[in-house]
Structure 1
């Protein structure tokens, strides 16, 4: 693998469409209850819940994994609330894996140890680092694992020697 090779993959999550629909529903309900006492309180509650749904939906619309020459960047978006970078020199190896039902979706600690960043599906790449494990959910697990292992070798750290 040459230093010119790059990796960029974006996985879309269909659950955000449900959240967009719920946000619209809450805004419509807020519009109709604005004349029912207590107008301001009830309407405000529905608007606030709709805004929270909208923020969550735009924050978890897709999961992007991208190479940034010396690090791997993982970010949810398009609203950039949650991002993480991992230096290749901190990575020991990357293995294709599957998340368990208990690990689910989102950003959280895994019962097996380490962190899970997953948007949709159970396929993932388990990145073993010097300090812990990071499981990145992806629908391109084979290519991501091969790319990360190649990058780790480029940075002079051979996974077999560790």
Structure 2
């Protein structure tokens, strides 16, 4: 059975923010009104960013664990199951933030909402992948990594 899980964030609430902010600034500062396209462009840029980062999908891609943001799938990563050393449920905090970035103290963080995640250690990196199903994802990773021939030989 294939593993596929999508976590949704509530970033869509930010789409009207640029238009509201521009309207407030325009009301407070006297002068020429801004053209209509400034509102459309700023709201469109925010909508594109939100559509890129409003969900995080984790898929079992056979040899790889695939992690991608979406529904516009521009960013993401894939991790070979054979490279995974350990996977355990963990929690990020507010200072770790959301999105995709590197933290010197933790490693690569991929998260869209909330603080629940899975910490995945590979031979050379650590990933913190946000999910609303950390136990299920850990079980899937452990099942795939225990089945690899190199891991089975190393455990004996």
Same fold (TM over 0.5): yes
Q: Structure 2: how far apart are the matches of 1:21 and 1:48?
A: 12
Q: What does 1:31-70 align with in structure 2 at a 5 Å threshold? A: 37=32, 40=35, 43-70=36-63
Q: Find 2:7's aligned residue among 11, 17, 20.
A: 11
**1:147: which partner in 2?**
140
State yes or no: 1:96 paired with 2:95: no
State the 1:22 CA deviation. 2.7
Q: Structure 2: how far apart are the matches of 1:133 and 1:114?
A: 5
Cα RMSD of the aligned pairs, angstroms, is 2.6
Q: What does 1:99-114 align with in structure 2 at a 5 Å threshold? A: 99-114=92-107
Q: What does 1:18-33 align with in structure 2 at a 5 Å threshold? A: 18-22=13-17, 25=20
Q: Is 1:103–1:111's contact at 8 Å kept on the other side of the alignment? A: no
Q: Structure 1: how far apart are the matches of 2:119 and 2:91?
A: 8
Q: Is 1:88–1:151's contact at 8 Å kept on the other side of the alignment? A: yes
Q: Structure 2: how far apart are the matches of 1:64 and 1:83?
A: 9
State the 1:112 CA deviation. 2.3
- Number of residues of Structure 1 aligned to a counterpart in Structure 2: 150
State the 1:45 CA deviation. 3.5
Q: Is 2:100–2:109's contact at 8 Å kept on the other side of the alignment? A: yes
Q: Structure 2: how far apart are the matches of 1:68 and 1:77?
A: 17
Q: Structure 2: how far apart are the matches of 1:57 and 1:24?
A: 15
TM-score by length of 1: 0.80
Tell me, which stretches of 5 or more residues in structure 2 are unaligned?
Answer: 24-30
State the 1:13 CA deviation. 0.5
State the 1:38 CA deviation. 6.5
Tell me, which stretches of 5 or more residues in structure 1 are unaligned?
Answer: 30-35
Q: Structure 2: how far apart are the matches of 1:46 and 1:91?
A: 46
**2:79: which partner in 1?**
86
